[in-house]
Amino acid sequence: MESPTPLRLKEARKAAGYTQQQLGIALGMEPNTASARMNQYEKGKHAPDYTTMKRIADELGVPVAYFYCEEPQLAELIKILGTLSSKEQEVLLASLKKR
């Protein structure tokens, strides 16, 4: 099965309004290689390690789990849940457990 990470990375980057180069530079990559490196991640030629993926997630404002989730609907839920406060997540979790 193909990894969902390249597609999710591209979607999250575009939603945050970054070019590949801008995101790479924001992550501390050299300006002359940032775009190519991010492109390789988005094409699935290379996969960032977890630490790099966590930095990307933080920069783009999405939970790192979003990049690894295979199901599109669940990935969207993860992204939305990541926008909730810790307290809001607790309330929602308690509500869902009662079902």
* pLDDT (0 to 100) of residue 52: 95
CA distance 40 to 21: 12
* pLDDT (0 to 100) of residue 64: 97
Integer CA distances (angstroms), 51 to 18, 35, 54, 88, 94, in order: 20, 19, 5, 27, 31
Of 83, 46, 48, nearest in space to 63 by CA: 83
- Which residue is it, tokens 């989730």? 69
- The pTM of the full predicted model, rounded to 2 decimals, is 0.89
pLDDT in tens, 19-46: 999 999 999 999 999 999 999 999 999 9
Residue type at 94 in one-letter notation: A
pLDDT tier, 2 (very low <50, low <70, confident <90, very high otherwise): confident
